[in-house]
Amino acid sequence: MDNKDSNEKASIVINDIVNEFERLIPQEPPLGYKPVQLTNDKVAGPTLYWPLGKDYYEIGLNISDIFYNQLAFQFTQEFSRMYCDPRTNNWFIELICHVAALYMLDFLGAKWENDPPFDELSEYHENFTNYRSNLLGAAFSKVDMVKYQISNEWVEYQVQKLINKEYTNRGKLLIMAYEILQLFNESEENWQIMPYIGKCSKPAPPEDTTNLLTNRNAQPDFKQLLKEVPDYIKPFVEKLTDKLGVFKEKDTEETI
């Protein structure tokens, strides 16, 4: 932002998010730890800027003021890309970024309720919860709730559309993230899948992490992901792929 006071306020929630990432994912991001330059870009943001810098990451947000809930949601989505490898992108990375953003709103709501940064924010924790509810409420309002509730294959159907490169709006992606978050919440170790996601893509980014020019438009490779992840999170990846239905044959009849 344009003034020091706003930036100091923003750093409160940014530091909480970064520290939680480091706690959940002890291994470093695929391109290593680097400084992050954070700007408020009301034209292009929120985004992780491309091309990548060799010595830093640069994130642009799109906020009108220091609204901690909005700041947290946008920053978490873009920061997650660093842990999935910012050289590539695919629908699964987009989905995981949404999952992480929902998780972080839950985390900050609980953290600030028990330990607010200072007295002025003693009641702010409710805003994280309300913001999350409003985002999901808006998303669910555009979905046929009867079909959503009675179908165990709603997520699978949305995934098939993504695999077929059909359009799926961000509201449905957010609902999918809401469903997937339940699996992540079964164990904190499950978040350690993130540094493996980017390289398990077709095409995969170069093994040389100094090579920053690569094809960002990829497809996830779930078979490779199952091979790459450590044994202790393989059961989670199997649950996740089953939930997504990525190894199942699907018919083409539209159900939603």
| Residue boundaries of the structural domains of the chain | 4-244
Q: Tell me how far apart the alpha carbons of residues 88 and 73 are, in angstroms, rounded to a whole number.
A: 21
pLDDT (mean) for 72-88 = 96
* Residues 171-226: tens digit of each pLDDT: 999 999 999 999 999 999 999 999 999 999 999 998 888 888 776 789 999 999 99
What percentage of the chain reaches a pLDDT higher than 90? 79
Judged against a pLDDT cut of 80, whether residue 95 lies above it is answered with yes
Mean pLDDT of the chain: 92
Q: Name the residue with higher pLDDT: 52 or 15.
A: 15
52 vs 25: CA distance, rounded Å: 22
Asked whether the whole model's pTM tops 0.85, one would answer yes
Euclidean distance between CA atoms 249 and 93, whole angstroms: 22
Q: pLDDT tens across 141-161, in order?
A: 988 877 787 777 899 989 999
